[in-house]
Amino acid sequence: MLFNRKYYDVIVVGLGAMGSASLYQLATQLSGKGKKVLGIDQLAPPHNMGSTHGGSRITRQAYYEGKEYIPILKYSYDLWRKIEHDSQSRFFEITGGLMMGSRNNSIVDKSEMSAKAYDLPYEIFDHKEINKRYPMFKADENTWALLDKLAGYLEPEAGVKNQLELAVKEGAEVNTGEQVQFWDAENYAKGIRVKTNKGDYIAEKLIVTTGPWAKGMMQELGITLKPERLIQFWMKPTNNAAAFLPEHFPIFLWNVEKNLDIYGFPAKDGVEQGCKVAFYPHEDHEMREFCTAYNIDREVHKKDIELIRKYLSQYVPDLNGECLKTAVCMHTESPDLHPIIDFHPEYRNVCIANGFSGHGFKFSNVAGQILADLTINGKSDFDISLFKADRFSSRLSQK
Ligand SMILES: Cc1cc2nc3c(=O)[nH]c(=O)nc-3n(C[C@H](O)[C@H](O)[C@H](O)COP(=O)(O)OP(=O)(O)OC[C@H]3O[C@@H](n4cnc5c(N)ncnc54)[C@H](O)[C@@H]3O)c2cc1C
């Protein structure tokens, strides 16, 4: 019955990294304008069932994924600081970051190209210097490091929580524990119908940021997203524990073999809580475990811990102590490893953002601003041509 439906100017579906940022931006931009904004999530973000948990995410500016990101990354730093200020909390630390690997079209070379293009502060050094400055790493003669002096880490749960709280302060409504069953942008003259397990709404505009749960929606558009199971491990240092504190130990991303990186963080909560480390397998590496948000194996097995130990014993042996904690998480890979941040190809009153391919948290705050700008103004001041939905499918570009 139409008269039972609640009306909103904008509804955001999914309140993880992208959705919380979108809701915050919408609420801020629409504050005092008599507009109604609602965010809906099936769970209660920040939670540990999607892509945005584990206490830390790397941020950096020398971006081997493409120099096109750098204006967005620079802006994200200012925006995170503003969010910290407005929420009176601290969840963003600069530690410097080491990108390590060989020197042949590697993350070292590609990071350097982007750093040069934007005159970012960095250093490059060889294995002797790595082992001298950072004796916890065991680098061989083929290993080089680019030190990105602006790299550091963000705490993703704090980012989500603070942006949701700020959005509510600005007048947004947040419904958690409510699952959107379908939305329909075709059959309602007044807008988009959003049907959940608890209610029925009409929105003038919709933003859909459902992370790994977006796979089905994107498949209907001919775009294959691949959610992937990844494990975060918290390891206690065995020796030289103080060397792993943030004042000595940077974040690192180390390409240890073809299509396999190990990355890690300093002991940001003290050495007793350990350092978080994880694998980042890519392309055709045998370690990859594709899944869906519905069938992912959320248990961590003995073999998973044995595997990280094997690599730590070779590359960072002092971190191969007690495994204190683990957490399973999902990346969602797009076909070209760049996200989709755009209007829905079929409906101009719907915006989508997904496929962040394991590197989206650091600029999720800007993604939220882009989505709010597209929704409110129909355009963004950022160059988002890399993120267009129609790049994948001739079916989409014909529309
Ligand atoms: C292990 C790991 C390490 C990573 N490391 C980094 C890093 O170092 N640096 C970096 O920048 N990025 C990193 N990333 C990537 C980054 O964390 C993700 O790109 C980002 O968190 C994705 O956020 P999201 O909002 O798209 O998805 P999510 O946070 O999963 O949010 C989706 C939300 O949608 C909700 N939802 C889904 N379906 C519905 C429905 N029908 N109704 C209502 N709600 C729904 C879900 O409950 C969920 O809250 C990492 C990711 C992982 C998994």
pLDDT digits (tens, 9 = 90+) for 259-293: 999 999 999 999 999 999 999 999 999 999 999 99
Question: 280 with 259, same domain?
Answer: yes
Nearest 5°: the CA angle 158, 163, 168 is 130
Which SS3 state, helix, strand or coil, does residue 153 take?
strand
pLDDT at 109: 97
The order of strands in the sheet holding 275-281 is: 122-125, 144-148, 97-101, 251-257, 260-264, 275-281, 226-235, 323-333
Query: Is the C-beta atom of 307 inside 6 A of ligand 1?
Result: no
**pLDDT (0 to 100) of residue 398:** 46
pLDDT at residue 4, as a whole number: 73
Question: How, if at all, do strands 97-101 and 200-208 pair?
Answer: unpaired
| Same structural domain, 251 and 307 | yes
Does the Cβ of 352 fall within 6 Å of ligand 1?
no
Q: Point out the domain boundary residue: 314, 333, 352.
A: 333
Mean pLDDT along residues 217-244: 97
User: How does the average pLDDT of the chain come out, rounded?
Assistant: 96
- Mean pLDDT to the nearest integer, 144-150: 98
**The domain spanning residue 193 has which CATH number?**
3.50.50.60
Does residue 309 sit within a domain?
yes
Whether pLDDT at 17 is above 90 = yes
pLDDT the model gives residue 3: 58
Q: Is residue 64 part of a domain?
A: no
Q: Does the CB atom of residue 359 touch ligand 1 within 6 A?
A: yes
Going by alpha carbons, the residue nearest to atom 26 of ligand 1 is 211
Of 302, 333, 364, at which residue does a domain stop?
333
- Indicate whether 2 pLDDT > 70: no
* Residue 84 confidence (pLDDT): 98
Domain extent, residue 247, equals 94-154+226-333
Q: What is the pTM of this model?
A: 0.97
3-state secondary structure 183-217: EECCCCCCCEEEEECCCEEEEEEEEECCHHHHHHH
Residues in the chain: 399
Q: In angstroms, rounded to a whole number, what is the distance separating the alpha carbons of residues 26 and 48? A: 25
Same domain, yes or no: 180 and 300: no
- Does residue 230's CB lie within 6 angstroms of at least one atom of ligand 1? yes
Counted domains in the chain: 2
Domain containing residue 275: CATH number: 3.30.9.10
> Of the residues 333, 351, 384, which one is the last residue of a structural domain?
333
- Are 31 and 170 contacting, i.e. CB atoms less than 8 angstroms apart? yes
Atom of ligand 1 nearest to the CA of 47: 49
**pLDDT band at 399, cuts 50/70/90?**
very low
Indicate whether 61 belongs to any domain.
no
Spatial separation of the C-alpha atoms in residues 346 and 362, rounded to whole Å: 29
Q: Is 180 in the pocket of ligand 1 (CB under 6 A)?
A: yes
C-alpha distances (whole Å) from 314 to each of 131, 134, 259, 267 are 14, 15, 17, 20
Same domain, 150 and 243: yes
Give distance in angstroms: CA of 32 to centre of ligand 1.
30
Q: Within a domain: residue 215?
A: yes
Radius of gyration of the chain (CA): 21
